[in-house]
Structure 1
């Protein structure tokens, strides 16, 4: 029995119990990271209600206002600061969807969202973290070159990192999409590589053409070909393309925690591990700010837009919908001097 079911008040109306298969099917509709975050958010809400003697389900508007207010005032152990507004928004979604999954009326969240809006406004006025949306830095071509310069491309791990950097950029992948590629999936042709990539937000495969680059050092086709050849020499002809590699060049070394094996047995990198690679390369190149896997996706969108590529071509290469309204937020700001609208006035 789950903690939610243990805490459920006896006064609640009877509801249909979902089978384990149905619960698994429902959970599969969300990304792993979302499922983990929702589970933690829900458990925290249930604990807080229990400590106060409150009935968590169904949640009233006043209860959610009280809970959100509590979170805006309570420092988190890891950061020493209260939760960010974006975390509070996710928490409300977790609680709302929990009601839907338990066949309960959807809670009224308007009051809680008003609290979040005021909290975010005050953080901005006080110039505190959370008041301004944190965006990753865009990995534009000059940054890519500097990051590539830090890599020893004679080693297997260096070949992997270079291919991750260049393929993630040229195909505008999310980290989860990048690590989902298998060795046998890229199809080489005269012009470069064709990849069928499962786009997690669109929930469908899209075709991305990866052409040769003008310079061998920044060519995604050569980097990908080099990695595939090296993996085959190491005995890997199938399975994930991007895998764990230790400093001795061993592929997928076993990982153990408390005596129990952990991680994908095939060695496939997680999305977080792929982002850590980008962060490590950015640090080695001397860059400041926040660098993650999304830096490649944002860098591609920005560079393509500045280069005059049609919006629909940018969208299709990166797996955005043709009429995507969110694509613009991936564009990095232009040069503050060269693109300044005051110039020439």
Structure 2
């Protein structure tokens, strides 16, 4: 690999490269398509998978095919009218209900942290490590609204503690950072449910001074040198909530932390612009998908109006 190849490879996030490679493998190996592909071939691929794959997955497959053709210097067949109309028809005949993660409510977070604190009093050393890590992951993920890939990419040398105020986390790459300049995220020190205290408790106990913050811990209490995988965050979160006794723990995902914070902030008077700036959303549409208001059905506002009319 020459110097140019190294920089070209670095321009695409590792998760994106892996998912694109999987999509191309499905098109070529599992379906039997040919690259470079024709518009007709891609349209037939879409049609044959219209009932098996979600529209979001099909769009992702098209993005992978588009990227491959452009990268190899071929005309992009995914942009042709035939492919666009095929996808539009699939959307019309197989509409998909948007799937959203269940937000983790503040009382559920409080309950789970209290359970972890109690469990740490009587557990063995290996469990104490895991529980301490899990508490830090929960609180940091909630109060910063971090995605799973942001949590697992955080490295200790990129965290700066500011006594009495909080800490600053630098992430070299994030989904919203299109310019690849890296982003700084300020994490506040809080009087309770403090993410900074939980973070320092974990890194001190695990003696982590550099490298990935959130790592695996085996049954003997040995801490991995590698960070957790992004796909492990949802199963880990569900396991934590289930151990804490929360019902329907299987309904939660890694996005539940982000949605939970957005809902809490909205209910506590944050305006959308401030929330967007804090979490890192680029547009209003992205932010509104995450917010569940306390009166999402509008019941309280309507009842108040009806009550006023009844007394007039």
Q: Secondary structure of the equivalent of 2:226?
A: coil
Partner residue in 1 for 2:63: 93
- 1:29-48 → structure 2 map (5 Å cutoff): 29-47=11-29
CA 1:38–1:187 in 2, change beyond 3 Å: closer, same or farther?
Answer: same
Partner residue in 2 for 1:59: 38
Q: Secondary structure of the equivalent of 1:292?
A: coil
Following TM superposition, by how much is the alpha carbon of 1:275 offset from its aligned partner in structure 2, in angstroms?
Answer: 3.0
Greater share of helix: 2
Alignment pair present for 1:226 and 2:208 = no
Give CA deviations for 1:100-145 in whole Å, capped at 9, x if unaligned: 0111112134433433344344444xxxxxx212111112212212
Q: Secondary structure of the equivalent of 2:11?
A: coil
Q: Distance in 2 between matches of 1:95 and 1:230?
A: 46
Partner residue in 2 for 1:11: none
Give CA deviations for 1:219-252 in whole Å, capped at 9, x if unaligned: 21221221122122xxx43322211112332211
Partner residue in 2 for 1:279: 238
Alignment pair present for 1:206 and 2:188 = no
Structure 1 stretches of 4+ moved >4 Å: 48-51, 336-341
Q: Which ranges in structure 2 are unaligned for 5 or more consecutive residues?
A: 122-127, 307-312
Instruction: Work out the number of aligned pairs and report it.
Output: 290
Residues 64 and 109, structure 1, Cα contact 8 Å, conserved in 2: no
Q: Distance in 2 between matches of 1:181 and 1:300?
A: 19
- 1:160-175 → structure 2 map (5 Å cutoff): 160-175=133-148
Q: Distance in 2 between matches of 1:305 and 1:165?
A: 20
Q: Distance in 2 between matches of 1:247 and 1:333?
A: 41
Residues 238 and 250, structure 2, Cα contact 8 Å, conserved in 1: no
Partner residue in 1 for 2:166: 192
CA 1:49–1:159 in 2, change beyond 3 Å: closer, same or farther?
Answer: closer
| TM-score of the aligned structures, taking structure 1 as reference length | 0.74
Partner residue in 1 for 2:85: 114
| TM-score of the aligned structures, taking structure 2 as reference length | 0.81
Give CA deviations for 1:57-80 in whole Å, capped at 9, x if unaligned: 2422x322211011125xxxxxxx
Give CA deviations for 1:280-324 in whole Å, capped at 9, x if unaligned: 223332234532222111221221122112333322322234x55
Following TM superposition, by how much is the alpha carbon of 1:150 offset from its aligned partner in structure 2, in angstroms?
Answer: 4.1
Q: Distance in 2 between matches of 1:341 and 1:111?
A: 47
Following TM superposition, by how much is the alpha carbon of 1:48 offset from its aligned partner in structure 2, in angstroms?
Answer: 6.4
Give CA deviations for 1:187-206 in whole Å, capped at 9, x if unaligned: 13212223233451213333
Following TM superposition, by how much is the alpha carbon of 1:274 offset from its aligned partner in structure 2, in angstroms?
Answer: 2.7
Q: Distance in 2 between matches of 1:268 and 1:121?
A: 42
Residues 58 and 105, structure 1, Cα contact 8 Å, conserved in 2: no
C-alpha RMSD of matched pairs (Å): 2.6
Q: Distance in 1 between matches of 2:38 and 2:2?
A: 25
Q: Distance in 2 between matches of 1:290 and 1:141?
A: 16
Partner residue in 2 for 1:70: 48
Q: Distance in 2 between matches of 1:329 and 1:95?
A: 28
Residues 231 and 237, structure 1, Cα contact 8 Å, conserved in 2: no
Partner residue in 2 for 1:8: none
Q: Which ranges in structure 1 are unaligned for 5 or more consecutive residues?
A: 1-18, 74-81, 125-130, 253-265
Q: Distance in 1 between matches of 2:146 and 2:265?
A: 14
Residues 153 and 162, structure 1, Cα contact 8 Å, conserved in 2: no
Q: Distance in 1 between matches of 2:50 and 2:273?
A: 41
Q: Secondary structure of the equivalent of 1:68?
A: helix
